[in-house]
Amino acid sequence: MGGYFGTALMVDLAERTVEESLLPGEWYRDYIGGEGIGVRLLLDLVDPEADLLAPDQPLIFTTGSLTGTAAPTSGRCAVVFRSPLTGTLGAANAGGHFAPALKRAGYDVLVVTGRAETPVILVVDDDGVDFLDAEETWGKGINATEDWARSQLEGTGWQIASIGPAGEKGVLFSNIVTDRHRAFGRGGAGALMGSKNLKAIAVRGTAELPVADPEGLKEAAKAAREELFNEAFVRDEMKPYGTPSFYDAMSGLGILPTRNWQRDSFPESIPTLGYAAYHETLEVKPYACFGCPIACGRHTKIKSGKWAGMEGGGPEYETVAAFGSKCEVLDLNAVAAANHLANDLGLDVISAGQVIATAMEWNEKGILSKEQLGGLDLSFGNGEAVVEAVRLIANREGIGDLLAEGSARAAEKLGPEAEAAVMAVKGMEMAADGVRASKGEIITHAVSPRGADHLRPYASTIDAFGYREPELGIAPDAAISITEDGNKGWVKPLMANAMIPNLLGTCLFTNITLAIKPSTWANLHSKALGREMDKDELLLAAERVMNLERMVNATFGFDGSDDTLPERFLKEPGTDGPGTGQVVDLKPALESFYEAMGWEPEEGLPSVETLTRLGLDWMLYGCD
């Protein structure tokens, strides 16, 4: 017998109690694993009325059904929490080697609650759980923390996820970083971890992971790798160049945010920020997460100038845009320095760059006083100021203390005139994927459960490269005609497709490229667990989790009225590329999307019929 119950390690830092808890098999049937299980557990553990950084707020790390197996990209870990930045569901996802280590230590899920009296490192091993005093490393960056932790721990093979000074100081877009530069990036998980006085989690596991059909899994994994490299985007771009290769295309397509989204392309930056320049200016090495044949990660070192010698993971495309085009900075060395610094201090580079770009516009408009800026010249184009702003924010020094609250809260403090420059949805800063010329991004940014979101799905890549995946049942004309009111034809199935890796513990880059088919993922899952699942069941589970997340956000007070975009897109016509002269017509786009999802047109929440169809209607009815 046995039963496919996941084992959750429940750690209360205040009491230093440790408990193992079996999760219901029904959850694994309905929500598959990874983020799905994390969100379901969050619903049980979170108190919607509690302060966003209250000690009891849970921080939930989850592995997926394929974690640590031979399936390609099976090294991803999800962290699920209530975001201190947005108040929405928080869900972030990192590669590296953390998730396989956790699973090998015997845990599918790790839940941390409570606030330690003094800084600690949580140590999870095959043999049990320990707490390591971390006073000495408090205040240190990610790299030094990993080094220090390894020096204190016996033996090798430790995987470490830690926070930097930004997380310690409650910067609301601080992150958790593992393997030095793989970030659980968005939504402020670092601040939540810091509020618990938890400096790092060190995990080591040596158990063999059971696979129901090892031979079948091997074959399925081979097929998956073949699908991956049959896709030109993976083979010819992602693998040899990584995400920085997107930059030139995004600018050409008119979806590269520039000068805090006042422009949608930045052709004059291609000679210094484009992917050819990237490989000339920086010393670049590829990096692979656990089990990944793509190795899209770039490790770079600055070769010259005042930041010469600084090195680390990235900058990825998003970071080049965040510290580059958004801030109109042409100096890739400054971009790379800001990136390396932000990674080490534990800042989400996407929010950090966007916050700085917004602050530059405030500065331009005289909304920030000289006193507030304290001598910092936050002008568009000033790369040195970007690097300094990163440092100030992470340490909550000077103007950094205000900006550490995120652009939406900072604007509230600055007054109504500050609002126009805030490029955020539900308080979450937008990433670097334009919406005027990428109609899919209109929907995904407006409706994503964690606020402005470029990854669920990465719609601009679909706009850019066209629709290819026949298994999703999208009508051919829907693929051709991507208009505001045509979204119902393709956004929903692509969103479900993009949810798959978050459930299996694999990488979105296999899916936003549409390289690995849903049926292939379903087959891998089946072989790993010995439980037959077909693509329809997997996609239905993904849809179920999408709706569960919508409902969890509803318990936090969010509904369709929060599905909006920054005013700039709704009122200011685009000035560059295909979006020139256009504003976003959000209403019909939302209406068609809600209809496709089976959400009520007014409140934007799943209808009773939809919840019933997905087996989630229990959320509506209470005996309590």
Q: Is 619 in the site for a second copy (CB under 8 A)?
A: yes
Kindly tell me which residue out of 208, 309, 366, 623 binds a second copy, with binding defined by CB under 8 A: 623
Asked if residues 133 and 148 have their Cβ atoms less than 8 Å apart, the reply is: no
Q: Is 621 in the site for a second copy (CB under 8 A)?
A: yes
State how far the Cα of 116 lies from the Cα of 138, in Å rounded to an integer: 13
Kindly tell me which residue out of 4, 131, 138, 465 binds a second copy, with binding defined by CB under 8 A: 4
Question: Kindly report the CA angle at 617 between 615 and 620, in degrees rounded to 5?
Answer: 160
Asked if residues 144 and 312 have their Cβ atoms less than 8 Å apart, the reply is: no
Asked if residues 313 and 146 have their Cβ atoms less than 8 Å apart, the reply is: no
Of the ranges 19-27, 190-198, 476-484, 587-595, which one interacts with a second copy (CB under 8 A)? 19-27
Q: Is 2 in the site for a second copy (CB under 8 A)?
A: yes
Asked if residues 47 and 81 have their Cβ atoms less than 8 Å apart, the reply is: no
Residue spans of beta strands (DSSP E) within 318-369: none
Q: Is 480 in the site for a second copy (CB under 8 A)?
A: no
Q: Edge-to-edge, what's the strand order for the sheet holding 182-184?
A: 128-133, 120-125, 198-203, 159-162, 176-178, 182-184
Binding-residue total with a second copy (CB under 8 A): 39
Q: Is 3 in the site for a second copy (CB under 8 A)?
A: yes
Of the ranges 25-33, 141-149, 251-259, 348-356, which one interacts with a second copy (CB under 8 A)? 25-33
Measure CA 568 to chain center.
24
- Which residues make Cβ contacts (< 8 Å) with residue 481, sequence separation at least 6? none
Cβ proximity to a second copy, 41 vs 91, nearer residue: 41
Kindly tell me which residue out of 42, 87, 108, 165 binds a second copy, with binding defined by CB under 8 A: 108
Q: Edge-to-edge, what's the strand order for the sheet holding 282-287?
A: 282-287, 297-302, 311-313
Task: State the minimum distance, in angstroms, from the CB of residue 595 to a second copy.
Answer: 22
Give the tokens for residue 230.
């049959």
Kindly tell me which residue out of 309, 375, 581, 622 binds a second copy, with binding defined by CB under 8 A: 622
Give the tokens for residue 243.
């995400």
| Residues 178-217, mask of contacts with a second copy (x by CB under 8 A) | --------------------------------x-x-----
Output phi, psi for 127, to 5 deg: -85, -10
Kindly tell me which residue out of 1, 366, 375, 477 binds a second copy, with binding defined by CB under 8 A: 1
Output phi, psi for 607, to 5 deg: -70, 165
Question: Kindly report the CA angle at 292 between 333 and 519, in degrees rounded to 5?
Answer: 130
Beta-bridged to residue 123, according to DSSP, are 130, 202
Task: State the minimum distance, in angstroms, from the CB of residue 616 to a second copy.
Answer: 8
Task: State the minimum distance, in angstroms, from the CB of residue 617 to a second copy.
Answer: 6
Asked if residues 179 and 159 have their Cβ atoms less than 8 Å apart, the reply is: yes
Task: State the minimum distance, in angstroms, from the CB of residue 6 to a second copy.
Answer: 6
Cβ proximity to a second copy, 288 vs 619, nearer residue: 619
Cβ proximity to a second copy, 62 vs 174, nearer residue: 62
H/E stretch holding 123 reads strand 120-125
Kindly tell me which residue out of 11, 28, 400, 431 binds a second copy, with binding defined by CB under 8 A: 28
Q: Is 6 in the site for a second copy (CB under 8 A)?
A: yes
Q: Report the number of secondary-structure helices (H) and strands (E) in the chain.
A: 28, 17
Kindly tell me which residue out of 17, 25, 127, 480 binds a second copy, with binding defined by CB under 8 A: 25
- Which residues make Cβ contacts (< 8 Å) with residue 285, sequence separation at least 6? 298, 299, 300
Kindly tell me which residue out of 27, 61, 241, 380 binds a second copy, with binding defined by CB under 8 A: 27
Subset of 31-90 contacting a second copy (CB under 8 A): 43-44, 65
- With left for phi above 0 and alpha for psi between -120 and 50, is residue 384 left, alpha or beta? alpha
Q: Is 588 in the site for a second copy (CB under 8 A)?
A: no
Kindly tell me which residue out of 15, 532, 567, 602 binds a second copy, with binding defined by CB under 8 A: 532
Task: State the minimum distance, in angstroms, from the CB of residue 75 to a second copy.
Answer: 17
Q: Please, where are the H alpha helices in 22-112? A: 25-31, 34-45, 98-104
Give the tokens for residue 168.
């310690």
Question: Kindly report the CA angle at 545 between 541 and 548, in degrees rounded to 5?
Answer: 135
DSSP assigned state of 24 = P
Beta-bridged to residue 128, according to DSSP, are 125
Task: State the minimum distance, in angstroms, from the CB of residue 44 to a second copy.
Answer: 7
Of the ranges 189-197, 355-363, 473-481, 550-558, which one interacts with a second copy (CB under 8 A)? 550-558
Task: State the minimum distance, in angstroms, from the CB of residue 540 to a second copy.
Answer: 13
Cβ proximity to a second copy, 214 vs 615, nearer residue: 615
Of the ranges 4-12, 117-125, 172-180, 448-456, which one interacts with a second copy (CB under 8 A)? 4-12
Kindly tell me which residue out of 111, 529, 546, 589 binds a second copy, with binding defined by CB under 8 A: 529
Q: Is 138 in the site for a second copy (CB under 8 A)?
A: no
Please report, as ranges, the residues that interact with a second copy according to CB under 8 A: 1-7, 22, 24-30, 43-44, 65, 108, 210, 212, 529-532, 551, 554-555, 608, 612, 615, 617-624
